[in-house]
Structure 1
Amino acid sequence: MKNILLINATIVLENTIVANGFVYIKGEKIDSVGNMEECPLYSNVDQVFDCTDKQYVIPGMIDIHVHGAAGYDFMDSTKESFEEIAHALAKEGTTSFLATTMTNPTLYINEVIKNLASYMEDSNLSGVAEMIGIHVEGPFINEEQKGAQPEDAILAPNVSLFKEWQTLSGNTIKVLTFAPELDNNFELLKELKSNGVIPSMGHTDGSYNECLRAINHGVEHVTHLFNGMRGLHHRDPGVVGSALLNDDMYVEVIPDGIHFHPDLLKMVLKMKGLERMLVITDGIRAKGMSDGVYDLGGQKVKVTDEKCILTSTGSLAGSIITMNKARLNLIKWLGLTIHEQLQVTSSNQAKRLGLYDRKGSIQVGKDADIVVLGENGVVELTICRGSVAFQNNDTFK
């Protein structure tokens, strides 16, 4: 593994910005960060990247809800698909992700989870975005709010099945999306909590009071806020109301301007603050591809003008937004500073998953997951655990 040096860089640290600095990467870790006067000798370094005229050097972004990219989907259940998605995500500045499954027949989900666990253990190499766990979305959902989840494979919450999946995963399931109003005596919720898995309300038709009961029993996360759930009504605040009004709830948001009106982000920010906001993409295999018709869990999705629509029902079916485009939208719609942008695209996710000791910020000793932004905030270089994963050869020779 090569040692890498970034020089003449504007480096965004957790609480400050180094205006003319360096980042020295040794192996998979950040070895030192500082002003150029303290920079190590170039002769001891394998690769040097001059960041003069680049906008920022930032920590890699973390997507905790993504299904696919570049023509591949995690439900393909092949090593090739997993590798190609990991490679594609790095191009958008994503250096870590939760591989997200979807509602499908039980035996097939079993296979997908087993293969994801095998990939995570044996093939999760540096130089591509790192799989840091699994997000199981469905099949324990409400058919009234199924969205693009196949109805014929929906199941009632099942503790035994979750236990089987967690065993197959090698205890790598980090988030499970379910409809808590269908969970008898909150048995699944209790099991998730005892396993350290984040229980997330999603694809749920729960009433406001049903959601409050679930929150009181330990739900503290909501999957893609506003979508796949009972909305906000003046006589029943619904799932959305319960998530916004409870200070402890974390909310996933897809800031693509399609899944909800951009101005609603202002309401989310006012009610939740930055600390409980988690930017996701909900990306599908069409991400990074041209318009056309794509498969999603055995269903056809038509992609036109950045909108993904299930051909059978007209439901929204994930997105093709990148994490970096989502970050740029937050500047346009909310006016977030660079530190605030990174909080909702990186550090919040790392803290939520208990990984902030090694991810989520540029700090000595942490994983060398680093992105260099060029003019207009585009991704020009991505380093994943100390190895170059993406390089724009037009700007970095």
Structure 2
Amino acid sequence: MSITLADARVVTPEGVHEGWLTVEDGRITHVGRGTAPGPGHSLAGRYVVPGFVDIHCHGGAGGSFPNGDQDEARRIAALHARHGTTTLMASLVTASLDDLARATSALADLCEDGLLAGIHFEGPYISRARCGAHDPALLRDPSPGEFAGLLAAGRGHVRMLTIAAELPGALDTVREAAANGVIAALGHSDATYEQTLAGVDAGARVATHLYNAMPPLHHRKPGPIAALLEDERVTVELINDGVHLHPAMTRLAYDVAGPARTVLITDAMAAAGMGDGSYLLGPMKVEVTDGVARLAEGGSIAGSTLTMDVAFRRAVREAGLSMTEAAEVTALTPARVLGLDDRLGSVSVGRQADLVVLTDDLEVAGVMRHGSWITEPR
């Protein structure tokens, strides 16, 4: 099947231009400027950006990946796809090893089906002092051998592990992750500057939701934030929902790390796409009020209700990113983190036809995944 999208403002890595593109057999085969050479589907001047890639998401549509329920997982993926996320990683939270293995095995089936891009363990190897919305009773010191058992449950689909660098056994576990092709991410950590750099030297390459669940910047104790921002080996995640971060801190991280080292994530939980009310995040009870998720006990922020289209829109309106830069931090850079940037993440010839059509107000008007419309623009 071949389709031409005409009369578009096409957002490519090189910039934005008025033009057209052709999709054949699920891939982009032509990207042109000006008037399309033949009949096509007119987008009436709307933007075309690459499908969003979310590497940190716990749920949505009332469902939660940590439950390990495949029907819930499909519902979550469908919700985020309607908001432009065409590549989605399932993030788990701290739980017992048996529960983690069970959920991982169930979600691995959906990775094999192509619905999910992988599985992310956020816990149990995190700091008790910075555990946020994780159950402190279930936290554990890292163990390479124990982690290898969780990897086995994932059958090659575990893609990321969040770990606190200061914990006993952490550096060896980071090395174990890297040796098995798993992205080690530093976060939920009370580490010093030096301990954080040791984690990076051991192979960690991502900062889990920079700023959140780690010591703040201090002029005599720079801590993990300074170490992760300044090290060019590290890509930093940001939750750009207006709750987790002040826009000035988003801009600060972006100015230091740049688009090639910045990834916007949702960190969404079950309430994404839903209303206020009571929810669960793993075993933890969460109350959502005015769209903000907090633990019922203690009040810690417990994920978000964010979707990637909102993160994109805020990046342009609040953080001052250009359309090209916003596309990079919501699609190309996270695709690069996953090692998939040769297949997706940009509106480029040869890439997978994962596309989002946006209005002038940057609202989603259409979503295409693998060359088929999820939501067809009218």
> CA deviation digits over 1:13-64, x for unaligned, max 9?
2203331x22222222123222465534x5xxxxx5320142x011101000
Query: Which residue of structure 1 aligns with residue 75 of structure 2?
Result: 84
Q: 1:247 is matched with which residue?
A: 232
Could you tell me which residue of structure 1 aligns to residue 3 of structure 2? 4
Structure 2 counterparts to residues 193-342 of structure 1, below 5 A: 193-342=178-327
RMSD: 1.6
1:58 pairs, out of 46, 49, 57, with: 49
Unaligned runs of 5+ in 2: none
Summarize the Cα distance change of 1:242–1:194 in structure 2 as closer, same or farther, 3 Å threshold.
same
Matched, 1:167 2:152: yes
Structure 1 residues 69-100: Cα deviation after superposition (integer angstroms, max 9, x where no partner): 11111112122111111111111111101111
Aligned partners of 2:294 and 2:300 also within 8 Å: yes
Contact 1:90–1:390 (8 Å) recurs in 2: no
Give the direction of change, closer, same or farther, for the CA distance of 1:38–1:374 in structure 2 (3 Å limit).
closer
Matched, 1:354 2:352: no
Assess if the C-alpha contact under 8 Å between 2:192 and 2:223 holds in 1.
yes
Aligned to 1:49: 41
Change (3 A) 1:16 1:211: closer
- Pairwise CA distance, 1:185: 7.0
Q: Structure 2 counterpart of 1:106, which letter?
A: L
Q: Hey, what's the Cα distance between the residues in 2 that align with 1:356 and 1:380?
A: 24
Aligned-partner Cα distance in 1 for 2:297–2:32: 55
Question: What is the CA distance between 1:208 and its match in structure 2?
Answer: 1.8
Q: Give the secondary structure class of the aligned counterpart of 2:298.
A: coil
Superposition pairs of residues 53-132 of structure 1, within 5 angstroms: 53-54=45-46, 56-122=47-113, 124=114, 130-132=115-117
1:183 touches 1:189 (CA, 8 Å); kept in 2? no
Amino acid at match of 2:283: G
Higher mean alpha-carbon deviation, 276-285 vs 233-242, is at 233-242
Instruction: Give the residue type in structure 2 aligned to 1:49.
Output: H
Q: CA deviation at 1:341?
A: 0.6
* Range that drifts further, 146-155 or 166-175: 166-175
Partners of 2:36 and 2:293 in 1: how far apart? Answer: 49
Q: CA separation in 2, counterparts of 1:162 and 1:87? A: 30
Cα gap change, 1:39 to 1:76, in 2 (>3 Å):
farther
Give the direction of change, closer, same or farther, for the CA distance of 1:3–1:80 in structure 2 (3 Å limit): farther
Q: Is the 8 Å Cα contact of residues 231 and 241 (structure 1) preserved in structure 2? A: no
1:259-278 per-residue CA deviation (whole Å, 9 max, x = no partner) reads 12211122212222222111
Secondary structure of 2:270's counterpart equals coil
Gaps of 5+ in 1: 43-47, 125-129
Contact 2:166 2:189 in 1 (8 A): yes
8 Å CA contact retained: 2:356, 2:366: yes
- Structure 1 residue 247: Cα displacement: 2.9
Amino acid at match of 1:104: A
Maintained 8 Å contact 2:165/2:198 = no
Separation of aligned partners in 1, 2:159 and 2:88:
11
Contact 2:20 2:35 in 1 (8 A): no
The counterpart of 1:28, out of the listed 13, 26, 29, is 26
For residues 202-252 of structure 1, what are the alpha-carbon distances to aligned partners after superposition, in whole Å with 9 as ceiling and x for unaligned? 111112222122222222321001111122122311111221232322110
Q: Secondary structure in 2 aligned to 1:286?
A: coil
Q: Which AA in structure 1 matches 2:41?
A: F
What SS does the aligned partner of 2:345 have? coil
Q: Which residue of 2 aligns with 1:45?
A: none
Q: Give the drift of 1:363.
A: 1.7
Give the Cα–Cα distance (whole angstroms) in 1 for the partners of residues 37 and 61 of structure 2. Answer: 38
Contact 1:346 1:361 survives alignment (8 Å): yes
Say whether residues 1:147 and 2:132 are aligned partners: yes
Q: What is the rounded CA distance, in whole Å, between the counterparts of 2:230 and 2:33 in structure 1?
A: 44
Could you tell me how far apart the structure 2 residues matched to 1:26 and 1:4 are? 7
Structure 1 residue 369 and structure 2 residue 354: aligned?
yes
Q: 2:25 corresponds to which letter in structure 1?
A: G
Q: How many aligned residue pairs are there?
A: 378
- Shift >4 Å, 4+ stretches: none
User: Quick one: distance in 2 between partners of 1:214 and 1:119?
Assistant: 31
